[in-house]
Amino acid sequence: MLAVDDLVVSYGRGPKRVPAVNGITFRIDAGECVGFIGANGAGKSTTLKVLMGFIYADSGNAEVCGLPAGAPESRRSIGYLPEVALYYPFMKAGELLELYGALGGMARGDLRSRIPEVLKQVGLDGRQGQLLKTFSKGMQQRLGIAQALITKPDLLIMDELTSGLDPLGRYDLHEIIRGLKKDGRTIFFSSHELSEVEALCDRVILIDRGRIIREVTQAELRTVGRERSLEAFFIEQVRSGGTGDA
């Protein structure tokens, strides 16, 4: 479903060039739910942006559904939630979802029934006609999830899954993710919340300073969780460059 091989990405030019991702390789199969964990500036968002075609790699390969990442066709089966979710303030929630659904190739008739359904799914039922400039940060985040789900994508890529959500919003979103997992969707998300990753993911990829330092399965994470805190484990892995015990 998703393959990254020896990906190198840097920002800036010439002597001011700063490496952001430094030769990472990983693979995600259909139906998997994978978390991408790392400190700020570790290269998580950069990797996700390459997969979406927002920035271009210096070298290496990234493929989505067998197509080169960035090709418009590769995005047909992706639902994407950006790290900072802001939407056109002059639009109403229903109009925004109609815009994204139409761009995703949905027919107008299908959108008419899908929009109320997806708004209900994210806890925004009845808000279809409300202008987005009146939405709170949490409501915008929920709407962001709705726009990612509008086309019923096979692959969900989410940057900072629950950022800006209150505990109730987090709980709702976790339930949505569990439902999508049951449906067999592939989910790849970055997060700072270790407990969230443990609760939702089949596998976790740890990244630090542009390099993958460790891949951990859910079973390993649970074992770790019984022995010591996940935070302690994460810090230990970062400090040891991924050689610490699981």
Q: Which residue among 33, 37, 78, 197 contacts another protein (CB under 8 A)?
A: 78
Picking from 203, 218, 227, the residue whose alpha carbon sits closest to that of residue 1 is 203
Among residues 140 and 218, whose Cβ is nearest to another protein?
Answer: 140
Shortest separation between residue 241's beta carbon and another protein, angstroms:
28
Shortest separation between residue 156's beta carbon and another protein, angstroms:
11
Shortest separation between residue 31's beta carbon and another protein, angstroms:
21
Q: Do 159 and 189 meet the contact criterion of CB atoms below 8 Å apart?
A: yes
Q: Which tokens is 169 given?
A: 């919003």
Q: Which residue among 26, 100, 189, 233 contacts another protein (CB under 8 A)?
A: 100
Q: Which residue among 6, 29, 58, 73 contacts another protein (CB under 8 A)?
A: 73
Shortest separation between residue 213's beta carbon and another protein, angstroms:
25
Which residues here bind another protein, judged by CB under 8 A? 11, 49, 52-56, 72-73, 75-76, 78-80, 82, 84-88, 90-91, 95, 99-100, 102-105, 144, 147-148, 151
